[in-house]
Amino acid sequence: MQFIDLEAQYLHLKDKINARIQKVLDHGQYIMGPEVQELEQKLAEYVGVKHAITCANGTDALTLAMMVLGIKEGDAVFCPTFTFFATAEVIAYEGATPVFVDSDADTFNICPIDLEKRIQKVIEDGVLTPKAIIAVDLFGLPANYPEIEKVAKKYSLKLVEDAAQGFGGSIKGKRAGSFGDMATTSFFPAKPLGCYGDGGAVFTNNDEYAELIKSYRVHGKGHDKYDNVRIGMNSRLDTIQAAILIEKLAEFPIELINRNRAAKCYELELSPMYVTPKVPQHYVSSWAQYTLMSGERDTVMAAYKDKGIPTFVYYKTCMHQQTAFEYLNYKVGDFPVAERLAKQVFSLPMHGYL
Ligand SMILES: *Cc1c(COP(=O)(O)O)cnc(C)c1O
């Protein structure tokens, strides 16, 4: 049994994907070929935003968002401590300071109450300028945007949705990728919508932001890539990856139904033994991971392994306990919920072909 069965997906879509790749090989426009634009239109339509701008990976997508917001040294950007490293990394990469926030015990997502406390603390300390929030749709469940948006508005902070795991999720029918001032996603193979390499995208309804992102992703281009009006980067999605994603996106709605079916089965079977993941009313999860908690995680994971069922821990280490962030001087106990999650969570196989 596979943890994420990319092989089953490929066998199912093989003819379509192969034909799409062959088309790219035939026309030979490997960089920014017509498939990139086709995919961007289809992504924007699916997510329900004006602009989808693809790029090289989900980390770059976040970096592009930080660049557009002008995040710099002296700025505070708030993000959950229980997330993948990239969420916090991009803040520090711009020279700004990540300010970590504890998790909600039920959803594992950023806690809006703790978020407001951490913002107030930064204001009180008077050293950093609060600028933005990066909320993460952890394990496929959209973060609590109704509450987070209120906090962002109250303190005039920009809001970025890290939907690397959330693609396909929704709140009251509004899809992940459409929350905040900008949203980002990743097409890393293991994500809900993945390609066969690295890929990412930024989503926004803001025309000005969209123009900036298109410039930043191609060396800060003006009229063309040899007219450089700002310092940018090289972060494009390969045409072949776009071609693959067009076929995978077409199949995605069915896969999403299958993921939710699998999650329902897990819940029926496992809820007597575990606290199973809670999806709040009006929310849909894309189930990037199906995550349980156990006080005897090692024993439980070994028992699954004996039965041929792979499990994995996302994530063993909170951001405030990462060596790279030692300079921020957080200590054990600063984020009690997230620290307990890091000690107890483990994830079961989850994909659209389970
Ligand atoms: C995977 C992931 C990223 C980074 O995406 P890459 O494409 O691997 O760069 C960022 N944030 C979260 C929450 C992720 O899960």
Do the beta carbons of residue 88 and residue 98 sit within 8 Å?
yes
Mean pLDDT of 36-56: 98
**Is 354 a member of any domain?**
no
- Give bridge partners of residue 100 from the DSSP assignment: 79
If asked whether residues 257 and 205 sit together in one domain, one would say: no
Q: What pLDDT, on a 0 to 100 scale, did the predictor assign at position 244?
A: 98
pLDDT band at 216 (very low <50, low <70, confident <90, very high): very high
162 lines ligand 1 (CB under 6 A): yes
Could you tell me the pLDDT band of residue 27, with boundaries at 50, 70 and 90? Answer: very high
- In which element (H, E) is residue 200 found? strand 200-204
* pLDDT digit string, tens, across residues 137-178: 999 999 999 999 999 999 999 999 999 999 999 999 999 999
Tell me: do 219 and 265 sit in the same domain: no
pLDDT at 88: 98
**CA separation for the pair 321, 316 (Å, rounded):** 10
* Residue whose CA is at the smallest distance from ligand 1 atom 14: 164
Cβ 97 under 6 angstroms from ligand 1: no
Cis peptide, bond prior to residue 315, ω within 30 of zero: yes
**What tens digit of pLDDT does each residue of 293-350 get?**
999 999 999 999 999 999 999 999 999 999 999 999 999 999 999 999 999 999 999 9
Looking at ligand 1, which residue's alpha carbon is closest to its atom 10?
A: 86
Decide if 353 is inside a domain.
Answer: no
Given 248, 266, 300, which residue is the final one in a domain?
Answer: 248
Residue 106 lies in a domain: no
**Residue identifier of the C-alpha nearest atom 7 of ligand 1:** 58
Q: Tell me what pLDDT residue 225 has.
A: 87
Residue of 85, 87, 184 best suited for mutating to test ligand 1, as the one with most atoms within 8 Å of CB: 87
Q: Is 200 in the pocket of ligand 1 (CB under 6 A)?
A: yes
Domain count for the chain, please give it. 2
Q: How far is 249 from 108, CA to CA, in rounded Å?
A: 27
Helices (H), the chain: 6-27, 34-47, 58-68, 85-93, 112-125, 145-154, 207-216, 239-270, 297-306, 336-344
Determine whether the shortest distance from the Cβ of 58 to ligand 1 is under 6 A.
yes
Shared domain for 175 and 262, answered yes or no, is no
Ligand 1 atom with the smallest distance to the CA of 138 is 13
Cα 199 from Cα 206, distance rounded (Å): 22
Predicted pLDDT of residue 169: 98
pLDDT digits (tens, 9 = 90+) for 69-91: 999 999 999 999 999 999 999 99
Taking the C-alpha atoms of residue 9 and residue 23, their distance in angstroms, rounded to an integer, is: 20
Both tokens assigned to 126: 């008077």
Task: Report whether residue 165 contacts ligand 1, using a CB cutoff of 6 Å.
Answer: yes
Is the Cβ atom of 59 under 6 angstroms away from ligand 1? yes
Largest CA distance in the chain: 62
Compute the average pLDDT of residues 4-9.
Answer: 97
pLDDT score at 294: 95
CATH code, domain carrying 174? 3.40.640.10
Please state the rounded mean pLDDT for residues 222-249: 96
Pair (71, 32) in one structural domain = yes
Q: Tens digit of pLDDT for each residue in 251-284?
A: 999 999 999 999 999 999 999 899 999 999 999 9
% of residues, the chain, pLDDT over 70: 100
Res. 188: pLDDT tops 90: yes
Residues 282 and 218 in one domain: no
For residue 258, the model assigns a pLDDT of: 98
State whether 202 and 323 are in the same domain.
no
Domain encompassing residue 270: 252-348
| CA nearest neighbour of 88 among 321, 286, 262 | 321
Q: What is the pLDDT of residues 94-130, one digit of tens each?
A: 999 999 999 999 999 999 999 999 999 999 999 999 9
Query: Are residues 236 and 259 both part of a single domain?
Result: no
Does residue 215 sit in the same domain as residue 288?
A: no
